[in-house]
Amino acid sequence: MSADAAARSCCFHAWIGQSNKVSEKKPLPRGARLKLALLPEERSLCPLRVHDCASRYRQRQVVVLALCLMLLVVFPGGGLSGHAACQALANTQGKNAYGVADRDGRMIDACNPDLPLIPASVLKIGTALAAHHILGDDYRFRTEFYVDHRDNLFIKGFGDPMLVTEEMAFIVEQLHRSGLRRVRTLYVDSSAFALTDQVPGRGGSTNPYDAPVGPLSVNFNTAYLAVDAEGGIHSAEPQTPTLPLFRELAQGLSPGLHRINICGSGPCDLETRMAQYGGELLHNLLDKAGIPVVAVGGLQKVPPDDQVRLLYRHYSTWSLAEINVAMLEYSSNVIANLLFLACGAQRYGYPATWEKARQAVSMEITHLVGQERAAGLNQEEGSGLSRRNRVTVRTMLSLLEAFRPYTDLLRQQGKVSMKTGTMTGVAAAAGYLTNGRAFVILLNESTNDRSALVQRLEGWYGESNSAE
């Protein structure tokens, strides 16, 4: 080692010692020690003269060398904070990671930043971001209604995630204004989707988060049921009528309130069940509006143009920007995956498929964050439900940098704006500290506390430590 290098190493060692003494009275800004120490060309920062450092270097060679090697391992690129990498984690055995970046996107602290981990619902940030760019904030889903000369009504959905009962009631008003007075048979056309499988990672539970997706998805493909002590079954929502399907779904449920997906606990033909739900709900609402319906006929494609006419094309009363607010606020898997599929259909045309969605979103993310960063993301679907989804902290921080124009979409939790994600064995969070610094936490084992880690990062890098 040259005398100059030895002096710089000693200078670094002396600076650490001096800063520790100073910090007892007035703590230095976080990261100041290493930021200064890793700039050896700034000789004026060294509190000792060079010849003193050279002398002390010979006495403390082993200690200095160990410190320098430690820093090269922990902070190989320089510029990271004074906290040892992974210090914020209770367990660093390869399945946990976190990172913090300043408002210019520079990483200032990280643990395992390039380790691909399961993101759970944090992935919805990427889905929302891609949808904003591919579809546009003013995008509105459409649903089409056709009639033939025999008064049959055909509904063709295109994956509107906000077809709740209130929206369907509004549609009925528009159908009446368009001249609909009677319906012989009501059919559902599901040809806008061509899904070889349902949502990747979807389980077989009755939970709403396991609800299927389809081109006609009413009430998020869930039902809210009330079962009384005598076994009576009713809709638990005043705006939603009690449908024949609800009596099927409630079989075996205990008294009380139950929000379940439309496949319940038994075997289910998903496409048929979604058409049944949409058909029964529209049938009921049409009857109430004085438009009688003889029968609900299930699935059938809209006939050729010379046999039908378009009666009404409905554009959702919800813009994409409003849908994204709801998706992130309630962490809706159904909304996220319908947005994901819509991105693919917008880029490559209908019918919507998972492969089109993956390709469209991947290309958009690559465009937004660059090929190198995008390589740290493997997205199977839009919600984070699949355990085959993977993302690195470094890539997620880049996504958050691109997401800054939409930070108000994230829920304020305490002082921090963030999206959380939770699955068995997985806890994640991503968002912005009080001073706007982006952070990501990906925990794929149960030995770490997500809430405590968020508080720790906020304490270290948040408003009270805002100096860049």
Provide the residue range defining the domain that includes 130.
96-135+321-465
3-state secondary structure of 163: strand
Q: What is the mean pLDDT of residues 202-228?
A: 95
Same domain, 296 and 329: no
DSSP-assigned beta bridge partners for residue 296? 186
Residue 87 lies in a domain: no
pLDDT 10s digits, 301-355:
999 999 999 999 999 999 999 999 999 999 999 999 999 999 999 999 999 999 9
Residue 81 lies in a domain: no
Residue 111 lies in a domain: yes
3-state secondary structure of 228: coil
Q: 43: which DSSP letter?
A: G
End-of-domain residue from the set 318, 335, 354: 318
Q: Which amino acid is at 1?
A: M
Alpha-carbon distances, residue 47 vs 14, 35, 50, 79 (angstroms): 7, 15, 10, 21
Residue 20 lies in a domain: yes
Residue 104 lies in a domain: yes
Using the predicted structure, report yes or no on whether residue 27 has a pLDDT greater than 50.
no
pLDDT at 90: 62
pLDDT at 47: 36
pLDDT at 244: 96
Q: What is the mean pLDDT of residues 433-451?
A: 91
Average pLDDT in the chain: 84
Using the predicted structure, report yes or no on whether residue 54 has a pLDDT greater than 80.
no
Give the whole-angstrom CA distance, residue 416 versus residue 147: 52
Number of compact structural domains in the chain? 3
Same domain, 386 and 342: yes
Using the predicted structure, report yes or no on whether residue 30 has a pLDDT greater than 70.
no
pLDDT at 87: 72
Angle at 325 between CA 345 and CA 454, to 5 degrees: 115
Range with top average pLDDT, 34-38, 204-208, 222-226 = 222-226
258 or 40, which is more confident = 258
Residue with tokens 């390709």: 359
pLDDT at 446: 74
> Residue 281 maps to which CATH number?
3.50.80.20
Residue 90 lies in a domain: no
Residue 308 lies in a domain: yes
Give the whole-angstrom CA distance, residue 403 versus residue 413: 18
Same domain, 286 and 203: yes
Using the predicted structure, report yes or no on whether residue 230 has a pLDDT greater than 70.
yes
pTM: 0.82
Q: What is the mean pLDDT of residues 105-133?
A: 97
